[in-house]
Chains A and B, each alone.
Chain A
Amino acid sequence: MSETFTKSMARNIFYGGSVFFFLLLLALTFDTNSALPELDNRQNLTEQVAHGKKVWETNNCIGCHTLLGEGAYFAPELGNVYKRFGNSTDAIKGFIMSRPKDGIPGRRSMPQFNLNAEELEAVAQFLKYASEINTQNWPPNIQG
């Protein structure tokens, strides 16, 4: 780099640029927060859904699945599983309950988490709530 472009000029670009774009990120975050009520399906965020999120978290579901495309890539996307299972929370509960304790020989299998009835219903409701978030039409199709 040429002699006319000095270290202190470079330093000023770093400080100025970082501060400016950090403030811009904060401004966009503020705007996003005010736009969220229209998008994030909060009207359906019940106590039960919140409990379901905790069941989701304390069983580390994200360690195999993606949720809205984020997580691990070992097992199917669950952001739209409610719709994929025919808009049925019973189908979701049935699937979770029916996982064999010792797995399936040679194949991937979801562990048996021994959830009680309340936890099962909560996590199914949580997945229903997730499927109704406005994700700008993602995923492209029902397969997730």
Chain B
Amino acid sequence: MTYQSQSVAKPYFIAAIGLFIGQILFGVILGLQYVVGDFMFPEIPFNVARMVHTNLLIVWLLFGFMGSAYYLIPEESETELWSPALALLMFWIFLVAGAATILGYLLVPYATLAEITMNDLLPTMGREFLEQPTVTKIGIVIVALAFLLNIGMTLLKGRKTAVSLVMFIGLVGLAVFFLFSFYNPENLVKDKYYWWFVVHLWVEGVWELIMGAILAFVLIKTTGVDREVIEKWLYVIIAMALISGLIGTGHHFYWIGTPEYWQWWGSIFSAMEPIPFFMMTIFAFNMVNRRRRNHPNQAAVLWALGTSVMAFLGAGVWGFLHTLAPVNYYTHGTQITAAHGHMAFYGAYVMIVLTMISYAMPLLRGRTQANSNKSQVVEMWSFWLMTVSMVFITLFLTGAGVLQTYMQRYTETPMSFMEVQDKIAIFYWLREGAGVVFLIGLLLYVSSFFIGQDEPEATVPE
């Protein structure tokens, strides 16, 4: 840690991991509800548990992105953060608002929550991933503005690098596109169309800039490869991300009441969306192979390589699997989508945040370069447990999805949704098993923060 104010990143990372645990616990509940339909019913019905699962994911990733920015921007800018106090204040506001929202989901019926938060004044609730009460959404905007001000002022007074600039553009885009969540027209087709301006332009747009910037930062630090080389790669990757991803939004506009031409635009451009992810894989492995030094934090390097591979598989390959309109006609809204969603989010965004935490947390906790060998070994075990179990979750859901697509959509004698669900239950049981292993991996990950803390730092492997 070069600048004192980088330490504000620490509470952000701790909160991120805490909420991550909650997310996975609810994931395990959901997985069980798929096969034991009345599990926790009617206290925590599926829709509530799912809302908690997905909203916790979004909130903890935002904590992770903000923490990453608070760590990365001062170091890149070679100056202290503009206002550490503002960053801490926003941390508490965001945490309290987030926790209150999740408790609201769990403690009162959703319709009651809508009523007491006065959703009628500006109805924005009840749309997938944007379930937060309108007042929470306004809170998110306030936190985001204060955050961008803080980061922007830091950037202005310090050194401008490509890494920090790309990170900033990504974060500004995140805040700007979130504003579409306040637009909820009565016309269902328009509602759906602009809903994707938040969801798609986040995860298949500006979030890729954030991911690219964090990956570039960690690679600069851990490989010692010349910044010019890394930043050139970064620009090419994010250029491809937006060139393919902006019009790639069209792959959501095939069947929601929008014109037929989107089947062409969406298919062609979204078919190119794997390219930036593939380049990220090549980039990460290339930089590590050309390293000028061996960094003692081998766990961070593992996460960096891992995220590049898993993002390509999850977002790239599993996205391509069902992105062409003639295929999507049959797979749209099946377990194929769920399979893709799980691996893409884990591979790209969970793992990039864990990469940053893995690199920065030892330094934030007073190490000079890395954790002890013992701690890193546990962390790397957790990497493999979580990553391999996520591969299996994805494979099982894909199996379920292929069968569902065939039995419910493709065959001459289609069966009803619930009949098909019964027939593919075995895949849901297997997925639940993999989910439990993921949870074990996560607990191991958390334990790595408490193991080997009294031992000396790992040394550079020869």
Q: Which residues of A contact B (CB under 8 A)?
A: 1, 5-7, 10-11, 13-14, 17-18, 21-22, 24-25, 28-29, 31-33, 35-36, 39-42, 45, 49-50, 53-54, 56-64, 66-77, 101-109, 111-113, 129-130, 133-136, 138-144
Contact = CB atoms under 8 A, between A and B. Distances in A.
Given A40-B188, A60-B131, A1 B126 contact: no
B412 to A, nearest CB: 10
A70 B42 contact: no
A104 B186 contact: no
19 contacts: A13-B236, A18-B239, A25-B246, A36-B189, A36-B190, A60-B47, A60-B48, A60-B125, A61-B47, A68-B256, A70-B128, A70-B192, A72-B128, A107-B37, A136-B263, A138-B332, A140-B409, A140-B410, A143-B417
Interface residues of B, number: 78
A6 B232 contact: yes
Contact of A70 (B246, B256, B417): B256
A28 B48 CA distance: 36
Interface majority SS (helix, strand, loop, mixed), chain B: helix
Contacts of B111: 58-59, 113
Contacts of A139: 255, 332, 409
State the 3 A-B residue pairs at the shortest beta-carbon distance, nearest first. A63-B47, A57-B126, A69-B333
A136 B254 contact: yes
A102 B51 CA distance: 21
B247 A62 contact: no
B152 interface: no
Nearest to B407: A143
B459 interface: no
A40 B114 contact: no
A106 B126 contact: no
Contacts of B45: 64, 111
Nearest to A126: B188
B415 A143 contact: yes
Given A1-B236, A11-B162, A143-B415, A17 B242 contact: yes
Given A49-B186, A63-B51, A104-B37, 8 more contacts: A1-B229, A7-B231, A40-B189, A62-B128, A77-B417, A111-B45, A133-B256, A143-B414
Interface stretch (B63-71, B334-342, B348-356): B334-342
A76 B418 contact: yes
Contacts of A13: 235-236, 239
B123 A69 contact: no
A58 B110 contact: yes
B414 A141 contact: yes
Interface string B238-266: 11001100110110111111111011010
Nearest to B232: A7
Nearest to A39: B257
Contacts of A53: 186, 188, 191
Given A10-B235, A45-B186, A73 B335 contact: yes
A75 B417 contact: yes
Contact of A108 (B46, B114, B335): B46
Contacts of A35: 258-259
B263 to A, nearest CB: 7
A53 B192 CA distance: 12
Interface in B116-147: 119, 123, 125-128, 131
A78 to B, nearest CB: 10
Of A1, A113, A129, most buried by chain B (CB within 10 Å of CB) is A1
Interface string B24-54: 0000000001101110011001111011000
B333 A66 contact: yes
Nearest to B36: A106
B189 A57 contact: no
Nearest to A31: B259
A77 B119 CA distance: 26
B239 A17 contact: yes
Contacts of A56: 126
